[in-house]
Amino acid sequence: MGNASTAGDPWKAFFAPRGVAVIGASQTPTKLGYGAARNLVVSGYPGAIHFVNPHGGELFGRPMHAEVALVPDPVDLAIILIPAAAVPAALDACGRRGILAVILGSGGFRETGAAGQALEQECLEIARRHGMRLIGPNCIGLLDTHLPLDTTFLPLPGPIPGDIAFLSHSGAICEAVIDWARGQGFGLSRLVSLGNQVDLTEADLLAPTVEDPHTRVVAMYLEGVGDGRKFIEQAHLASRRKPLVAIKVGRSEGGRRAVASHTGALAGRDAAWEAAFRKGGVLRADNSEEVFDWARALAWCPLPHGPRMAVLTNAGGPGAIGVDALDANGLSLADLSTATVASLHRFLPAAASVRNPVDMLASAGPVEYAGALALLLRDEGVDGVMVVLPPPPMSTAADVVGAMLPILRGADKPVVVALMGEDLIAHAARLLRQARVPDYRFPERAATALRALWRRARQLQELPQEVETLRGIRPASAAGALSKTTAGAEGFVDSMTAAQVVSAYGLRVPQEILASTAQEAESAANLIGYPVAMKIASADVPHKSDSGGVRLRLGSAPEVARAFDEMNASVGAAHPQARILGAVIQPMIEDGQEVIVGVVRDEQFGPLVMFGSGGVEVESLGDVAFGLTPLSRGEAEWLVDSTSAGRRLRGGRGRAPADREAAVESVLRLAQIAVDHPGIAEIEVNPLRVLTQGQGAIALDVRLRLEGQTR
């Protein structure tokens, strides 16, 4: 038997199958096979439903076939809910039957240890042999509320039809979200529990999910990704079409190993995720509640044209909370036009505040709320409105909402409602949800939803930028310098080699001379000119200043000779096993501003680029931003401008503007080094001295660590 109509199209088999077989269907109500069979029937799925159980019998008025080979056409999708040990044989039978889409709901695989992992791998090999695609194992399945189709075994009732899709690595989260969504009055379009992702992953599911016409927003619960680059690529494509919102759990750095550079120390795994979400166009929520707070706003509201928001309320305190929340979320209070202010004055009490926030006082009811909201939405200086509505003393919240609904339905700007309270606002909340107007219990949550809308608007305004070809780079020269060096115990090369590598990519480095004796150091300093800087030359001492390996502002030959001897003795005592080549003499350069530029290779996402405040206190300052390669010029500019160090380059408060363009160029060139040379694990310029505008930047100290070295 065959299933020609779904050949080569696994998504149709998963989300629009002509028939579904439940392998492991059971007459016992406490078994998962019973739950999946029940949900499939109760969902109203219009296709053929088949049950498979070796004992035969009947379930929900349908026969139970002894084996999948006996299941009649059509059948495109199989749900397997049997003990793990029996899954490979069942999977092979599905392949021979011509079923190309399978949901492995069974547990007992990778999550249980090595034996389970081996069993999981066996299932993958069987699937590949037959050309099948798998969701799971250890998952609850998927559902589509609009077909409708429910392959899960979760308790009823299921979700109400809606426009938010949910992809989750956790089945338990799916169950909670379905119940919570019903209580909050919003529906789901699709839900997919991914489980162990032996085959299909969240990256694979993004494209078919955004193609679903009923889905307006894709929400995600993520614990990790198997292929970071694939996830970014697919997220970027999907986010150009529909908003993506995600929560990523496991933000702490408790499991991260110690690293040997500032860049590595600051580039925790969460920094890589932040950069990945930004590059992929995913809006990252801080908690589970925010995911759906934002998703509802993104699904139901038009996008704002700017960050200027108005606050409308009947109480000063809640209005003030709303104002603070807007500011905390990077939004601003709109300046109301003279005409708007005058119109508000005409129908509000004389004591009302009409300057934004608009406080209509406690007596405000349906007429005042509706009239003021209409005026605010007509004001060209207002990009969106937060309505803050505690229970009004002289009317009901439902009456107020009822009066606003005609205005809300026709609004071309986003309106979110902070409906404060519980019992007294319950009916009003139902009215808003029926009208697809997002409501929140407190202004803080409403403000984050407005921020998500503005971020989405900016996302769509930002045109994708091509990664430009850099001029004047010499990859072969960099590779040659690396091939001739011997890395130290921690994988670092000597500073002179590191300087050669960045110089080959167009970064400016100071003149430097290697001196192996105090006399050579004197001669070098005389040649360079005083004052000079002296640094220990050793691949085994990457943190030179920690052991006295840096001396600055040396102003004479005797001072240089003395510093050379003292520095070698100090470093030798601290690192008795280190191979010390001598000292590097450089001109002392103190003009300009210190920043740090670095790259560290993240295991999931590849080279991660850092820019921020430089110097020895970089880790304590924490003023850094990260981006993933390949970097466009716009992304490099964002890295620079999103830090205090980068903003200071523009000058102000008595400072002359520094050469910001040189800093941006340095970021691009360092990123390109990591792309071109995958053998480099970390590279860091600290400090990069950014000179006055038009004078460029100088890489004063460069550290470079090779891959495959112990730390």
> What pLDDT is attached to residue 89?
97
Which domain CATH number covers 98? 3.40.50.720
| 353 alpha-carbon distance from chain centroid | 40
Closest CA to 51 of 31, 80, 30, 29: 80
Are 368 and 343 in contact, with CB atoms under 8 Å apart?
Answer: no
Residues 457 and 313 reside in one and the same domain = yes
For the chain, residues with pLDDT lower than 50 are: 1-7, 254-267, 710-711
> What pLDDT is attached to residue 542?
81
Closest CA to 60 of 77, 33, 38, 44: 38
468 lies in some domain: no
Are 76 and 17 in contact, with CB atoms under 8 Å apart?
Answer: yes
Residues 526 and 661 reside in one and the same domain = no
Q: 273-277 long-range contacts, Cβ below 8 Å, gap at least 24? A: 273/248, 274/626, 275/605, 275/608, 275/626, 275/627, 275/628, 276/228, 276/231, 276/232, 276/604, 276/605, 276/628, 277/235, 277/246, 277/248
> What pLDDT is attached to residue 68?
96
Residues 161 and 246 reside in one and the same domain = yes
Residues 570 and 600 reside in one and the same domain = no
Q: Is the peptide bond before 157 cis (omega within 30 degrees of 0)?
A: yes
Distance CA 606, CA 596 (A): 20
172 lies in some domain: yes
CB atoms within 10 A of CB 118: 11
Residues 578 and 597 reside in one and the same domain = no
> What pLDDT is attached to residue 2?
43
Separate counts of helices (H) and strands (E) for the chain: 24, 30
Distance CA 326, CA 314 (A): 18
User: Which domain range does residue 561 map to?
Assistant: 475-587
Residues 426 and 533 reside in one and the same domain = no
151 lies in some domain: no
Residues 454 and 308 reside in one and the same domain = yes
The sign of the CA dihedral 514, 517, 518, 520 is negative
pLDDT digits (tens, 9 = 90+) for 603-626: 889 999 999 998 766 665 678 999
DSSP 603: T
Residues 534 and 503 reside in one and the same domain = yes
294 lies in some domain: no
Q: Which residues pair with 692 in a beta bridge?
A: 658
Distance CA 439, CA 433 (A): 7
245 lies in some domain: yes
295 lies in some domain: no
Are 581 and 537 in contact, with CB atoms under 8 Å apart?
Answer: yes
**Where a domain ends, among 140, 169, 201?**
140
What torsion do the CA atoms of 376, 381, 385, 390 make, to the nearest 10 degrees?
-60
Question: How many structural domains are present in the chain?
Answer: 5
Residues 603 and 577 reside in one and the same domain = no
- SS3 for 156-193 is CCCCCEEEEEEEECCHHHHHHHHHHHHHHCCCEEEEEE
Residues 518 and 582 reside in one and the same domain = yes
202 lies in some domain: yes
**Distances in whole angstroms, Cα of residue 220 to Cα of each of 172, 199, 230, 307, 352:** 14, 18, 16, 26, 43
Whole-model pTM over 0.85: yes
Beta strands in 238-354 (DSSP E): 244-248, 282-284, 308-313, 332-333
Which domain CATH number covers 553? 3.30.1490.20
Q: Which residues pair with 142 in a beta bridge?
A: 192
Three-class secondary structure of residue 702 per DSSP: strand
> What pLDDT is attached to residue 4?
42
* Edge-to-edge order in the sheet of strand 101-104: 58-59, 62-65, 48-52, 19-23, 77-80, 101-104, 133-135
**Where a domain ends, among 587, 603, 628?**
587
Which domain CATH number covers 173? 3.40.50.261
Residues 186 and 306 reside in one and the same domain = no
> What pLDDT is attached to residue 258?
34
> What pLDDT is attached to residue 544?
85
Task: Compute the chain's Rg from CA coordinates.
Answer: 31
| CB contact set of 520 (below 8 Å; sequence gap of 6+) | 582
711 lies in some domain: no
- List the structure tokens of 450: 């407005």
Are 217 and 241 in contact, with CB atoms under 8 Å apart?
Answer: no
**Where a domain ends, among 540, 555, 587?**
587
> What pLDDT is attached to residue 620?
57
> What pLDDT is attached to residue 656?
86
| 574 alpha-carbon distance from chain centroid | 42
Residues 229 and 312 reside in one and the same domain = no
